[in-house]
């Protein structure tokens, strides 16, 4: 059976299949009612109380989500976003961080969904999670602010140590020295360096192209590198 | 089916992602029942170790100094209550007040152990543990705490603790108290000052090690890993 109800977060129409308890359209309470729900959790709520209805409805959605009903789950999470935002603001989260809290709470609820007992109030359970995640984010932000310094021009004013104009010339000089050193190597070693390093062929490809065994190529490459290291070190010595 | 919600918002994308990967879950048993499961494993270990212990010697020691029961009762109560408290704290909506539950028992345990230590000083002929015995105590407490705390942390991870540091601290207390209780099977004498210090160091080390090792592993960020890795939260 497919039920339709109004998503109170966005006032959008959402379709929820296989939910017997959602036969008719229902406008949920807005987020200001959520605070009232939380404050009244400890009080006895009558069976006809609209706020208790909201909570029972959420509990039913969560129970369906625990059973794997993704439409109920989406409707529940969408509907809880205003509640998270209201709790985050109440805890003192700055407006630019409220969305971070929402994301964090959604992930945490997803992770903790097996801990929810449908006999208990969903809104109370959810509100505690939202409060804790909001407080965690405030603490994290505070720690981050203590470690980091706000310096908008620091990046632009920071000298790039690698931006030395002569560095490119030195690099080219070194590269041509390597090429010259490779040219002085015996033929097989030069061949191994050419195919395996300069042309970046795999050992198998290089073996096919040069018609030599992989072992021979490896030995020649090893000898070539050793010889090149010696040549470059003697070149760099003053 | 079509929804008129704003599909471009990061929240909507996250909700759709979570709904896509939604699988049916089995509701977690109540914290008390899961705590009983852990305590049953501790009890089974105690029965197993009891087969190798000199039970008549323990009986003689208890008959000579019945107040030793107080220390044993204190450590047993600390293990039981800290175990229950750790499982309660592992629930995401748990109150921090659960952490206070094992404290009275822990005070009884510490006070009664201190009393035994004083008698070892003042009563002539009391057996006083030497350094090698004290070292054995340390190894016993630390060695037995390892499997107890590992099992406890694994069981706690199935919930979603939002106070991972506090949960790990109380879990460490439960494991250390359980190990210290079982030490009585092989320690039928009062702890002298040095021995008591060794016990305290062992218990404190276990608590702090479990706290340091497990608090990150119990955190939602660590446990979720696979979910956040796939989500783009920057848009």
Per-residue pLDDT of B14-57, as tens digits, reads 999 999 888 899 999 999 999 999 999 999 999 999 888 888 87
| Beta strands per DSSP E along A12-154 | 12-17
Structural domain boundaries in chain B: 29-230
What ipTM goes with this model?
Answer: 0.77
Chain-chain contact of A117 with B27 (C-beta, under 8 angstroms): yes
In this predicted structure, what is the pLDDT of residue A64? 92
Q: β-pairing, A12-17 with A2-7?
A: antiparallel
Higher pLDDT, B191 or A202: A202
Question: Residues of chain A whose C-beta is under 8 A from some C-beta in B?
Answer: 7, 9-10, 12-15, 65-71, 73-74, 77-78, 81, 99-100, 102-103, 106-108, 110-117, 124-125, 128-129, 132-133, 136
Q: Which letter does DSSP use for residue B30 in this model?
A: P
Domain A166-236 top-level CATH class: mainly alpha
Chain-chain contact of A115 with B223 (C-beta, under 8 angstroms): no
In this predicted structure, what is the pLDDT of residue A30? 41
d(CA A101, CA B106) in angstroms, rounded, equals 38
Question: CA-nearest residue of chain A to B11?
Answer: A103
* B87-107 pLDDT per residue, tens: 999 999 999 999 999 999 999
d(CA A34, CA A26) in angstroms, rounded, equals 16
Q: Which letter does DSSP use for residue B91 in this model?
A: S
Structural domain boundaries in chain A: 2-147, 166-236
pLDDT exceeds 80 at position B154: yes
In this predicted structure, what is the pLDDT of residue B66? 66
In this predicted structure, what is the pLDDT of residue B194? 63
Contact B116, B122 (CB under 8 A): no
In this predicted structure, what is the pLDDT of residue B119? 66
In this predicted structure, what is the pLDDT of residue B102? 95
In this predicted structure, what is the pLDDT of residue B226? 41
Higher pLDDT, A164 or B84: B84
Higher pLDDT, B122 or A135: A135
d(CA B28, CA B158) in angstroms, rounded, equals 8
Q: What is the mean pLDDT of residues B64-72?
A: 77
Chain-chain contact of B93 with A136 (C-beta, under 8 angstroms): no
**Of A27, A35, A23, the residue nearest A10 (C-alpha):** A27
Beta-carbon contacts of B132 under 8 Å, excluding residues fewer than 6 positions away, are none
For A81, the token pair is 């976003």
Q: What is the mean pLDDT of residues B179-201?
A: 74
Report, as ranges of residue numbers, the positions in chain A whose pLDDT lies below 50: 1-33, 37, 40-45
**Considering only CB atoms, which chain B residues are within 8 Å of A125?**
92-93
pLDDT exceeds 70 at position B129: no
**Considering only CB atoms, which chain B residues are within 8 Å of A87?**
none
Contact A138, A91 (CB under 8 A): yes
Contact B221, B228 (CB under 8 A): yes
Q: What is the mean pLDDT of residues B132-157?
A: 86
Chain-chain contact of A65 with B159 (C-beta, under 8 angstroms): no
**Of A77, A87, A80, the residue nearest A130 (C-alpha):** A87
pLDDT exceeds 70 at position B126: no
Question: What is the DSSP annotation of chain A?
Answer: -EEEEEETTTTEEEEEET-TT--S--BPP-HHHHHHHHHTTTS---TT-HHHHHHHHHHHHHHHHHTT-HHHHHHHHHHHHHHHHHHHHHHT--GGGHHHHHHHHHHHHHHHGGG--TTS-HHHHHHHHHHHHHHHHHHHHHHHHHH----TTHHHHS--TT--HHHHHHHHHHHHHHHHHHHTS-HHHHHHHIIIIIS---HHHHHHHHT--HHHHHHHHHHHHHHHHHHHHHHH--
**Considering only CB atoms, which chain A residues are within 8 Å of B3?**
7, 12-15, 74
**Considering only CB atoms, which chain A residues are within 8 Å of B231?**
107
Per-residue pLDDT band for B235 (boundaries 50, 70, 90) equals very low
In this predicted structure, what is the pLDDT of residue B87? 96
N-to-C CA span, chain B: 24
pTM score over 0.80:
no
In this predicted structure, what is the pLDDT of residue B128? 58
Contact A182, A231 (CB under 8 A): no
In this predicted structure, what is the pLDDT of residue A217? 92
pLDDT cut 90: percent of chain B above it: 37
pLDDT exceeds 70 at position B208: yes
Beta-carbon contacts of A150 under 8 Å, excluding residues fewer than 6 positions away, are none
Chain-chain contact of B92 with A14 (C-beta, under 8 angstroms): no
CATH 1.10.1740.10 at A2-147, yes or no: yes
pLDDT exceeds 90 at position B5: no
């Amino acid at each position: 059976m497919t039920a339709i109800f109004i998503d109170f977060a966005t006032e959008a129409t959402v379709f929820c299949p296989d939910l017997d308890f959602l036969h008719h359209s229902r406008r949920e309470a807005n987020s200001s009612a959520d605070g009232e729900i939380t404050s009244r959790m400890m009080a006895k709520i009558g069976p006809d109380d609209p706020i208790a209805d909201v909570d029972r409805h959420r509990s039913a959605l969560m129970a369906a989500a625990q059973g794997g009903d993704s439409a109920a789950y989406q409707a529940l999470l969408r509907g809880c976003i205003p509640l998270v935002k209201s709790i985050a603001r109440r805890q003192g989260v700055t407006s630019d961080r409220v969305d971070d809290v929402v994301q964090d709470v959604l992930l945490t609820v997803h992770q903790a969904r097996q801990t929810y007992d449908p006999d208990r109030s969903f809104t109370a359970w959810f509100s505690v999670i939202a409060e804790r995640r909001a407080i965690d984010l405030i603490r994290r932000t505070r720690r981050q602010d203590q470690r980091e310094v706000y310096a908008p021009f620091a990046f632009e004013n920071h000298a790039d140590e690698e931006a030395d104009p002569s560095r490119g010339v030195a690099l080219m000089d070194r590269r041509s020295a390597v090429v010259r050193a490779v040219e002085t190597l015996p033929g097989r070693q030069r061949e191994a360096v050419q195919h395996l390093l300069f042309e970046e062929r795999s050992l198998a490809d290089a073996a096919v192209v040069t018609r030599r065994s992989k072992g021979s190529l490896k030995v020649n490459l090893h000898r070539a590198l050793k010889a090149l290291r010696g040549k470059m070190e003697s070149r760099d010595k003053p | 089916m079509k929804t008129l919600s704003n599909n471009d918002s990061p929240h909507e994308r996250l909700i759709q992602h979570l709904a896509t990967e939604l699988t049916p879950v089995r509701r977690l048993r109540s914290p008390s029942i899961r705590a009983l499961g852990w305590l049953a494993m501790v009890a089974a270990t105690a029965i197993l170790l009891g087969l190798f212990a000199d039970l008549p010697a323990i009986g003689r020691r208890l008959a000579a100094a019945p107040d030793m029961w107080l220390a044993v009762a204190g450590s047993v109560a600390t293990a039981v209550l800290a175990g229950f408290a750790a499982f309660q704290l592992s629930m995401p909506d748990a109150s921090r007040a659960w952490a206070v539950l094992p404290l009275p028992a822990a005070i009884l345990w510490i006070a009664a152990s201190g009393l035994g230590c004083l008698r070892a000083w003042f009563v002539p002929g009391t057996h006083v543990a030497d350094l090698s015995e004290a070292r054995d105590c340390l190894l016993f407490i630390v060695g037995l705490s390892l499997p107890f705390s590992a099992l406890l942390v694994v069981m706690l991870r199935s919930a979603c603790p939002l106070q991972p540091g506090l949960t790990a601290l109380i879990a460490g207390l439960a494991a250390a108290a359980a190990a210290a209780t079982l030490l009585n099977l092989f320690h039928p004498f009062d702890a002298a000052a040095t021995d008591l210090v060794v016990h305290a160091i062992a218990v404190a080390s276990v608590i702090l090690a479990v706290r340091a090792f497990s608090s990150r592993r119990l955190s939602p960020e660590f446990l979720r890993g696979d979910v956040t890795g796939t989500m783009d939260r920057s848009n």
